[in-house]
Amino acid sequence: AKAAQVDTKEGLLDQKLRELTLLVKEIRSDARIEISFERYEDEDAHVRIYPPPDLSPNEVLQFELTLGQRCTDILLETGLFIVGAVYD
């Protein structure tokens, strides 16, 4: 497979969404991930995570914090605004 071009905003966004997907799968491989490109204000993409129902409230919180921190890191590193949310 050809590597995604990262010299465009779309290529960089694709790369970062792949990174977030891998992060989620590392945390919980059976979590469902939805990615959308809806724009309400300045965001570039939305990542919605639906963890399995057997996660404890503390595990859901940890999931939210990890995803949120990575989205913040991406914003600071690249200027891409990716909204990440965990739905339980």
pLDDT of residue 85: 95
Q: What pLDDT sits at residue 88?
A: 79
Q: Please say if the pLDDT value at position 4 is more than 90.
A: no
Specify the pTM: 0.86
pLDDT digits (tens, 9 = 90+) for 26-64: 999 999 999 999 888 899 999 999 999 999 999 999 999
Exposure string of 17-30, with b = 16+ CB inside 10 Å and e = fewer, is beebeeebeebeee
Contact criterion met (CB below 8 Å) for 85 and 46: yes
Query: In angstroms, rounded to a whole number, what is the distance separating the alpha carbons of residues 24 and 7?
Result: 25
